[in-house]
Chain A
């Protein structure tokens, strides 16, 4: 049981480049989330998806887009990376009906130079 899998684990981008962070869960969860973690700021919600086919903005959505490709996968795209997007990104999933806790991936450390 892999849980929540994020790829890549590390990435360095140049300002203006684009990239997609991938996330997949194998727990049949209906809810998925993307967070960024910065020192002193805690985890801030970027986007979330309460069910397949729906996505909603979180606390800090600017500069990001998401796709809930199917129930398993929830990707985060940076269209034009900026140094302010240097952060550690976490994907998580949870089950809305049974109200389980959220399960987290191991994170992606992104540096934009």
Chain B
């Protein structure tokens, strides 16, 4: 069955330090993976996606993610965190097999960046 796990409810990091938000996935077919961010009282904004190709994916606002097939992971990273990066982050996996199009999200990780 298709699933996504975000093992950390919250990640705290000091401004200027690198950040990592973890995500692991399970899907029967090819993995199509996404990261989204949600600011308070807002909808979800797309950050980046892995469809195929390079394992390191670059996205919006300086974020990147590393796809690791052997570890079934897709961790979100940023070299230098900003206070404005504080938000709720969601990982998602899409199953396009068997003519379906099911998009499943993780439970979310709250990122808190301290000045």
Please give the residue numbers on chain A whose beta carbons come within 8 Å of chain B beta carbons, in ascending order. Answer: 30-31, 33, 35, 40-45, 48, 50, 56, 58-59, 90, 92, 94, 96, 99, 101-107
Contacts and interface: CB of A to CB of B under 8 A. Distances in A.
B43 A106 contact: yes
Interface of B: 6, 9, 32, 34, 42-44, 46, 49, 51, 90, 92, 94, 96, 99-108
Nearest to A33: B103
Nearest to A40: B107
A94 B96 contact: no
27 contacts: A31-B101, A42-B6, A42-B90, A42-B105, A42-B106, A42-B107, A43-B44, A44-B105, A45-B103, A48-B101, A50-B100, A50-B101, A50-B102, A56-B100, A59-B104, A90-B43, A94-B101, A96-B96, A96-B101, A101-B34, A101-B49, A102-B103, A103-B46, A104-B43, A104-B44, A106-B42, A106-B43
A108 to B, nearest CB: 11
| Highest count of chain A CB atoms <10 Å: which of B49, B100, B101 | B101
B103 A94 contact: yes
